[in-house]
Amino acid sequence: MNTIQIVLIALIFVIVVGVGIAFVLNQEAERKKRVMATIRGRASKGSEVNSEMDAQNKRRAEIARKLKDDKEDDDKGKKKQKTSITVLIGQAGLQISMKQFWIYSAVSMVLVAFLVKMFISSNPFVLVMAAVTGLLGVPRLVLKKMAANRQKKFLEEFADALDAVVRLLKAGMPVSEAVSMISREFEGPVGEEMSIIYDKQKIGVPLHEAAQESTKRMPLTEMQMFATGLSIQAQTGSSLSEVLNNLAGVIRSRFRLKRKIKALSSEAIASAGIIGALPNVVAGGMYFVNYEYISVLFTDPFGNVLLAGAVIWMCIGIGVMKVMINFKI
């Protein structure tokens, strides 16, 4: 094989490889052109559909953005709200001042310390701890319990109130007048909150801002969504009746799910209650039946250690069972 043949073979190989590479690149370019043509064709064919859906998609995006921003603001303010007594008083629906709250706390302190001294121990350390608990712990616990009960009552009637607002809006009534009507027709937390919103609106506060302020007194996702719906309606002019109608359906669905979970976890709740109450019932019965037998736990130092350990472990067990049967929706 001479040099000319070798050069020809190499040239043919280079040409074949080049043609192959060019063919592959051409195919890739053709594929990209087809993809872009398909995208342009679909865009041109669906331009009318997209134009019809643009307004709805924008409203959904705006609502999602508002919900996200409101949630971030709520998360940032949670720590402050947890330590604010004024917020707890507002959530509980009480009309008392801070001075009255601290007076009630002082009465609670004296009462708890007296009960501990009469029935448990006269140890100064125990009495001090009981007084601190009565002053700082018991009042806040009562406020949180009252707030939880108020929120539960609010949710039970809020869906019906939203349905009533939707019917009034479809009948041609303005949003502010619909809120006023709900404040008069509904009693309990729903009527109170709507009345506060309407009163603030009458003195110049925008309706959506008044609703946003009410989420501090009623820190519920449903109330936050109601305030967001009013804010979107005020900014974009979207259909508020559709938003509130969907919100009412969501509230009813969540309420049904909560009741279903409560029914399914009722056995575990009963077991936790029995297990937590059994040691206390036995100890109380033994205290009245055979005091000398159980008095070692109160008089002997080692008995005090055993009693404290039993209480601590019992509290830990109750906390673990509560976490296991507590479902957040």
Please tell me the least confidently modeled range out of 85-89, 164-168, 323-327.
323-327
pLDDT of residue 107: 92
Mean local confidence (pLDDT), 285-310: 86
Mean local confidence (pLDDT), 205-223: 85
More confidently predicted of 232 and 166: 166
Residue 237: left (phi > 0), alpha (psi -120 to 50), or beta? left
At 217, the pLDDT band (50, 70, 90 cuts) reads: confident
Mean local confidence (pLDDT), 71-89: 61
Please report, to the nearest 10 degrees, the dihedral formed by the alpha carbons of residues 159, 255, 74, 323 taken in order: 160
For residue 39, pLDDT beyond 60:
no
pLDDT of residue 18: 66
DSSP 218: S
DSSP 300: S
Please tell me the least confidently modeled range out of 184-198, 218-232, 277-291, 314-328.
314-328
For residue 224, pLDDT beyond 50:
yes
At 210, the pLDDT band (50, 70, 90 cuts) reads: confident
The pLDDT > 90 percentage for the chain reads 4
Q: How far is CA 240 from CA 163, 254, 266, in A?
A: 12, 21, 38
For residue 72, pLDDT beyond 80:
no
How far from each other are the two terminal CA atoms of the chain, in whole angstroms? 84
The pLDDT > 70 percentage for the chain reads 75
- Report the C-alpha gap between 141 and 149 in whole angstroms: 12
pLDDT of residue 319: 83
Distance of CA 286 to the CA centre of its chain: 44
What's the pTM? 0.61
Domain ranges (residues) in the chain:
1-42, 55-248, 265-329
For residue 74, pLDDT beyond 60:
no
More confidently predicted of 176 and 149: 149
pLDDT of residue 71: 56
pLDDT of residue 106: 92
pLDDT of residue 286: 87
At 57, the pLDDT band (50, 70, 90 cuts) reads: low
Mean local confidence (pLDDT), 244-266: 82
For residue 93, pLDDT beyond 70:
yes
The average confidence (pLDDT) of the chain is 78
Identity of the amino acid at 62 = E
- Report the C-alpha gap between 16 and 245 in whole angstroms: 69
Mean local confidence (pLDDT), 187-203: 87
pLDDT of residue 329: 62
pLDDT of residue 227: 86
Please tell me the least confidently modeled range out of 107-116, 212-221, 259-268, 286-295.
259-268
At 111, the pLDDT band (50, 70, 90 cuts) reads: very high
